[in-house]
Amino acid sequence: MDIIPQIRAAMHTLLSTTTEAIAAAQQYVKRPDRAKFTPSTLVQTLVYGWLAQPTATVEQLAQMACRIGVDVSPQAIDQRFTLATADLLRQLVLASIQPVIAANPVALPILQRFASVRVHDSTSIGLPDALTSTWRGCGNATTGGGSTLKCGVQLDVLTGTITALVPTITGWN
């Protein structure tokens, strides 16, 4: 089975239809008649821009927007770095987990007697110091007191699907 076409189709749906649905539910666009960016073109700009260059500047992101078909200034992109955009992206990550990530199920006879066998793990990722004013942090030894993103993942071993993804930013102001 060739998985690349499946991933491509899932990414296309995620970065277009799913993004627009999430944005509509959270009333992300305040003035749709005046917006150059749609939620999906903004998300595509950020995703493709950061995939091409993980440390892309707003100028580089504006160039990516142009490639997508949206002519905007770097300031227009900078103005969209808001808590509403962060929430849109968070909800998009949560929506992306089910269709894209799945493992082969485990067929151990001893586990077959259970309806579900779930394995949970988490990790903490230190965030840049520039985010300290927004996310205070919890003062743990790993990050030296800075902000952290803790991400918990739960996998159902019997079905091979992720049943939960819980991103938590400690120290939210």
Task: Tell me the domain boundaries of the chain.
Answer: 4-100, 109-170
HSE-up of residue 130 (Cα within 13 Å, Cβ side): 1
How much is the pLDDT for 143?
A: 46
Q: Which residues of the chain register pLDDT less than 70?
A: 1-3, 32-33, 98-104, 130-146, 168-173
| Contact (Cβ atoms closer than 8 angstroms) between residue 61 and residue 46 | yes
| Contact (Cβ atoms closer than 8 angstroms) between residue 163 and residue 154 | yes
How much is the pLDDT for 46?
A: 96
Cα–Cα dist 50/154, whole Å: 27
Q: Give, as one character, the DSSP assignment of residue 17.
A: I
